[in-house]
């Protein structure tokens, strides 16, 4: 895939731009960070993670949010590159969290398993949207 040729936002004036998708990604990272920092630790018996694990996962979410929000403010060619990086980062996060949950699934409450499955599905949906946006921006004049 090639970045937009003229440096302008390839989807400017359309319903969805690279910057919009990066902001959506940032919002999702922020929400994930808040959930891991403040909500899930209250369900300690249902989710057998240590406090350090929750804190680490919250920091990952906040780091994703910061990267995405900063990238959404960059010039379009740079934002395009950052969106590609976020696709890889989101896929790595999905693989990591799925592996982590698989290691402790027998000790988890079924609703906790459903939560993590829905989180992975939401992130994979975002990845599909990011890839779709990258492809459309590469084709746009």
pLDDT digits (tens, 9 = 90+) for 53-99: 999 999 999 999 999 999 999 888 888 899 999 999 999 999 999 99
Do 76 and 138 touch, CB atoms closer than 8 A? no
- pTM for this structure? 0.84
Does the pLDDT of residue 140 top 60, yes or no?
A: yes
The tens digit of pLDDT for each residue in 103-136 reads 999 999 999 999 999 999 999 999 999 999 999 8
Neighbours of 79 (CB within 10 A): 24
Pick from 58, 57, 67: nearest CA to 87: 67
Distance of CA 64 to the CA centre of its chain: 7
């Amino acid at each position: 895939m090639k970045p937009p040729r003229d440096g302008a936002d390839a989807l400017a004036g359309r319903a969805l731009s690279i910057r919009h998708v990066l902001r959506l990604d940032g919002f999702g990272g922020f929400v994930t960070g808040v959930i891991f920092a403040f909500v899930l630790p209250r369900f300690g018996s249902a989710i057998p993670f240590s406090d350090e694990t929750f804190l680490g996962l919250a920091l990952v979410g906040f780091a994703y949010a910061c990267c995405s929000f900063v990238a959404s403010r960059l010039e379009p060619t740079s934002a395009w590159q950052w969106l590609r990086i976020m696709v890889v980062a989101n896929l790595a996060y999905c693989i990591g969290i799925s592996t982590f949950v698989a290691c402790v699934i027998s000790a988890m409450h079924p609703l906790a398993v459903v939560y993590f499955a829905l989180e992975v599905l939401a992130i994979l949906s975002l990845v599909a949207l990011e890839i779709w946006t990258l492809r459309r921006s590469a084709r746009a004049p």
